[in-house]
Structure 1
Amino acid sequence: MNTTLLDLAVITSGIMGYFISISLVTISFYKSRANNYFALTLFLLSTLTLLSWFDLENIFLHFLSIIMLEFLVAVTLFTYFLIQIQHEYLKKRWYKWLYFPFIGSVIIEVFISFSDFVLNLYNPDLDALLFYIKENGCFVYNVILIFWGRYLVKKSNSISEAKKRWLLRLNFFIICIVVIWFISNIEFYVFDSEYIVDFLSILLSVFLWWILYYGVFKLQIIVQKEEIHQYLITKKTHDTKVKKRINETTASKIITQLYILMDKEELYKNPLLSRLDLATRLETSEGYLSQIINQEINKSVVQFVNEYRIEAAKNLLQNPVFNKYSIEAIGLEAGFKSKSVFYSTFKTNLGMSPGAFRKLQKTS
């Protein structure tokens, strides 16, 4: 019964892995060159999980299990990291040679299969030796590319800190899988058992697709946020809001400077902006800042900052240019630190959710 349940769990998770892979290359929200490689990586990992868990006698599936798809996983994942950090290695001629170990593995297996089934020259000792070399060579190759990719991500200055954190977390998770893979090889060759191999299959089938999906989704939100930000920078023009607000307000010097900071420098777009940050920039105390905002504007500091964020979000939501972007990405660009905070603040201020507001703008 337990074995049947585990088999069902592995099959279900493998199917989910395939489903997510297909989603990454077909759904417009996820479509990107980087995600194409990531989808292929996830597809290969799902295939390896199913092949390692089930001992199928099909000739084609057996061939897939021995051509070392792990060589291909290493390259597609490495390529995914290179695209995300926009690294120049992608333009180098030697880059394509990274696929050679996988191609070489396929050629060797085709030659061995031909010798075995056509020429009847099967040599079990040679076959075992080649498998041993490929298995260990594949492990070393994966380790090199995974840690190389991690080094390049940490060194990169072309991506945001949020994207870098996601890539490093993903890389760390893959490192954990490789470590378990290494331990399973030791167990197999030293103790002639495969308990850890089974654990590795379960780990991949149950957790991998969920964590990767979560990482891809969050990373895509960050990518969209950055695209919105870059678009706004290129379209930014001189704004007279500051002057208009000041003229309409009998403002003190601090309030005047506050408007300048918010309108010109857009400090509200910093999700970690605090009352202390504002007070420091205005060279005053937190208490006095709260007091003067309350006296002259009749709002708290949080309300004052959030009104700017709500206004920025409204402008993005009602602009058709940003219809292709998710509401969460728009909330992040407006300065909210999370989807839940954005939704609750927006609904409190306008009486409707950001999604409802966007739909209303489309139909009006």
Structure 2
Amino acid sequence: MILTFLDVLVLLGVILGLFLSVLLFSSRSFRSDVHRYFVLVVASLSSILTYVYFEQHFPAVALLELISWEFLFPFAFMMYVLKAIKYPLGSSGKVWWWAAPFLILTLAYFVDFFLGFDLFYWLAGNNLEKLEIMIEVKAFTFLLFSILLVGFSYIRIRRAKGLYKTERRWLELNSLFLLVYLWVWMLGDPITLLFDVTIWNYLLAILAIFLVWVTYRGIHHLNISEQRRQIQRIEVKAVAITAKKEPLEGDHFMATQDIRSPIYQKTADKLQKLNTLMVDEQMYCDPNLTRTMVAEKLNISEGYLSELLGTNLKIGFNDFINKFRVDRAINMFHDRQFHLFSIEAIGFEAGFKSKSVFYTAFKKGYSKNSW
């Protein structure tokens, strides 16, 4: 048998997909629900690609059809997203109703294989023409079901709060790719008739490339996510990971204001509250922290907050927040408990949205001690 380029590409996608599934499923480092559902997504797509492409050449591959991978895939992807964004539905018992098609069809396949009772043939009244129609309806239902669940997942990602930039981008890219892919597959027959081009091999090749990419990027992404979870679980003293409690009054402000002045007392009070928000409540750890959120906490306007920082500390809002984040990261670098974690994971945990922003802030030499 001579292997074509498409054969090699599909084999590579399948092998990497299954390898990633086995690796993550057996690894003690990846035991969270998020990782398990990600493994199910990759395993489902790898299995679908395997029996669609290789069933004619290797009859034994038909054993994979004992499990309804086509209905497991959209449910697993939805659960992966819901767990990743911590959406309440992901922990609700009601969500398991969406697994009903997978469970029912898998049970039917096992009954057919072991007992010789073909549920679909029986429902079709032992009529082959009706059976073919039912198979087409099942395929169409799978595509609609998948589009519904993946589309719902994409909407939830867009509306999710508290996600890091890289995490949101990763989830959005996967969702968008799958949505476009499913729609193109659904419109495959009309496209073939309209343009007189067979697109099925191209679609299989694209799915194989996606599996290769998601395997390569997925391991890195999941590794960073797992490191962040481990960092959050480590119990350390507050002084080891927070900025020191230092007064925020700048020298310029102290030298030019009358300490008995009501204006000074009001400003000093706001600065102290700001210090409490940063040091005690660690608001800077929120990657989506905005000037509006801080101003509302202080019961002042955004303009007054900017004036407060600019006049007294000679610093802008973003630089002010990043100083605390870099201080937190530096303290973690100096703590032996965090030596095994990557710089990227520590940067995310300190509140930076992306590694590029963290590196830029770090290179500027931000440290609250230098104010």
- Which bracket does the TM-score occupy, shorter chain normalised? 0.5 to 0.7
Structure 1 unaligned regions, length at least 5: 116-121, 351-364
Structure 2 unaligned regions, length at least 5: 119-125, 255-263, 367-371
2:181 is matched with which residue: 166, 177, 180? 177
Cα distance between partner residues in 2 of 1:111 and 1:264: 64
Could you tell me how far 1:201 is from its partner in structure 2? 0.6
2:277 is matched with which residue: 261, 264, 271? 264
Work out whether residues 331 and 342 of structure 1, in 8 Å CA contact, stay in contact via their aligned partners in 2.
Answer: yes
1:204 aligns with 2:207: yes
Work out whether residues 78 and 153 of structure 2, in 8 Å CA contact, stay in contact via their aligned partners in 1.
Answer: yes
User: In 2 relative to 1, CA 186–205 (structure 1 residues): closer, same or farther, beyond 3 Å?
Assistant: same
Report the 3-state secondary structure (helix = DSSP H, G, I; strand = E; otherwise coil) of the residue aligned with 1:195. Answer: coil
State how 1:160-175 maps to structure 2 within 5 Å.
160=163, 166-175=170-179
Cα distance between partner residues in 1 of 2:156 and 2:317: 41
User: In 2 relative to 1, CA 44–291 (structure 1 residues): closer, same or farther, beyond 3 Å?
Assistant: same
Amino acid at match of 1:144: L
Could you tell me how far 1:126 is from its partner in structure 2? 6.0
Could you tell me how far 1:173 is from its partner in structure 2? 2.1
Residue 99 of structure 1 is matched in structure 2 by 102
Q: TM-score, structure 2 length as denominator?
A: 0.66
Amino acid at match of 2:343: I
Cα distance between partner residues in 1 of 2:249 and 2:157: 48
Residue 119 of structure 1 is matched in structure 2 by none
Cα distance between partner residues in 2 of 1:301 and 1:82: 33
Cα distance between partner residues in 2 of 1:346 and 1:240: 15
1:329 aligns with 2:345: yes
Aligned-residue CA RMSD (Å): 4.9
State how 1:261-300 maps to structure 2 within 5 Å.
261-262=274-275, 264-265=277-278, 266=282, 268-269=284-285, 281=302, 283=304, 290=310, 293=313
2:136 is matched with which residue: 132, 136, 145? 132
Cα distance between partner residues in 1 of 2:305 and 2:83: 45
Equivalenced residues, count: 334
User: In 2 relative to 1, CA 48–123 (structure 1 residues): closer, same or farther, beyond 3 Å?
Assistant: same
Cα distance between partner residues in 2 of 1:18 and 1:206: 14
Kindly indicate whether structure 1 or structure 2 has the higher relative contact order, using CA contacts under 8 Å at least 6 residues apart. Answer: 2
Residue 77 of structure 1 is matched in structure 2 by 77
Q: TM-score, structure 1 length as denominator?
A: 0.67
Residue 214 of structure 1 is matched in structure 2 by 217
Could you tell me how far 1:39 is from its partner in structure 2? 0.8
Cα distance between partner residues in 2 of 1:291 and 1:71: 60
Work out whether residues 35 and 222 of structure 2, in 8 Å CA contact, stay in contact via their aligned partners in 1.
Answer: no
Work out whether residues 306 and 316 of structure 2, in 8 Å CA contact, stay in contact via their aligned partners in 1.
Answer: no
Residue 342 of structure 1 is matched in structure 2 by 358
Report the 3-state secondary structure (helix = DSSP H, G, I; strand = E; otherwise coil) of the residue aligned with 2:4. Answer: helix
